Amino acid sequence: MAAMHALLSGFAPIWILTGIGYAAGRSGLLGEQAEPVLGRFVFHVAMPAALFTMVSGSRPAAFAHPAMVAFAAGTALVSVLGYAAGRRFFGRKRAEAAVSGMASGYVNSANLGIPVAVHVLGDASFVAQVILFQVLLVSPVVLTLLDSGTQRGGSAADGLRRMLTMPVRNPVIMASLLGVAVSAAGWRLPTAVTHACDVLGAAAVPTALVTLGLSLCGGPAGRGHPSAPDGTGRVTGRTEVGVAVALKTLVQPLAAFLVAGPLLRLPGHQVLAVVLCSALPTAQNAYLYAREYGLDTGLARNSVVASTVVSMGTLSFAAWALGPSH
């Protein structure tokens, strides 16, 4: 009962804020440009502030924990499978296949993972490590694929130049790198600066969820962005979404369990933490990245919504099967 209450407490803000965005979109309250404007605000302003605050106060050495090996293995497996499925079976080009991989393996660790971990596990220390892993390792890989996949023409030298300068051009990566630098140097920033970043970063998740709700109204970005590199503007099929959701909610936690349990033989509470975090639904970041790079947002958007519904069952099962009573 306590685990179910924790899940409902974690899911409620997601549904409420997404519903607010959908209602605002249907009513036209925020105007036709609300989705792209809010999306750019999150990607270029609020999210970098949140990431800088989080990373600058972290200790990346926590990645050495054996439980992170299990989580990373599951994430790598399903992300590669999602990318390969997008390329081979659904005809996606490199950038859109990167979104497929992200939809399959990038978990909603912040606004859902933290409340679930606090109520089910008793603390959110492992979720904090998961967040850092995704921010510092997974996101740069995905963004590199997105950047190179949306590049039109140019020589090999131009491609190399774009790759080397991407941290400067991409606010998400730049904020993360600045945070690492501050953390490694042991600096303590002025209170006014950290407070401003905290306040601004706090707007990232709710604004992203409202933006996701706006996209559910069936606007152009939801049906396939007109500036998508392949020029198809196609609607994402149910099979493609189903594959991404199955990888995210079933294969990823199963792979993490096999590595954490039979392979590494971690203690039961660590196995539970790894499986719970791996079973979290797709993060809304997948949708934001696809929108920012002018790609078809259908797969990312629908995967976020569908995996959030399915994960209510998988998370409940994981908490029951691996919880202290078992």
For residue 274, the model assigns a pLDDT of: 95
For residue 63, the model assigns a pLDDT of: 63
Give the distance, in angstroms, between the CA of residue 173 and the centroid of all CA atoms in the same chain: 14
For residue 159, the model assigns a pLDDT of: 58
Give the distance, in angstroms, between the CA of residue 16 and the centroid of all CA atoms in the same chain: 19
Could you give the CA distance from residue 40 to residue 65 in angstroms, rounded to a whole number?
A: 35
Residues 6+ apart with CB under 8 A from 91: none
For residue 155, the model assigns a pLDDT of: 52
What pTM, to 2 d.p., does this model score?
A: 0.81
DSSP lists the bridge partners of residue 158 as none
Do 209 and 284 touch, CB atoms closer than 8 A?
Answer: yes
Could you give the CA distance from residue 281 to residue 145 in angstroms, rounded to a whole number?
A: 22
Could you give the CA distance from residue 298 to residue 45 in angstroms, rounded to a whole number?
A: 24
For residue 252, the model assigns a pLDDT of: 98
Domains by residue range for the chain, with CATH: 2-321 (1.20.1530.20)
Give the position of tokens 């209602």.
23
Do 171 and 39 touch, CB atoms closer than 8 A?
Answer: no
One digit per residue, the tens of pLDDT, for the chain of length 326 reads 555 666 667 778 888 999 999 999 999 999 989 999 999 999 999 999 998 988 888 776 656 678 999 999 999 999 999 999 999 999 999 999 999 999 999 999 876 887 777 777 777 778 888 988 998 899 999 998 998 888 755 555 665 666 667 667 788 889 988 998 998 888 888 999 999 999 999 999 899 999 999 998 864 444 444 334 443 444 458 999 999 999 999 999 999 999 999 999 999 999 999 999 999 999 999 999 999 999 989 999 999 999 999 998 899 898 888 876 55
Could you give the CA distance from residue 164 to residue 154 in angstroms, rounded to a whole number?
A: 15
- Written as six digits, the tokens of 317 are 């099962």
Could you give the CA distance from residue 295 to residue 149 in angstroms, rounded to a whole number?
A: 10
Number of helical H runs and strand E runs in the chain: 18, 0
- Written as six digits, the tokens of 167 are 């941290």
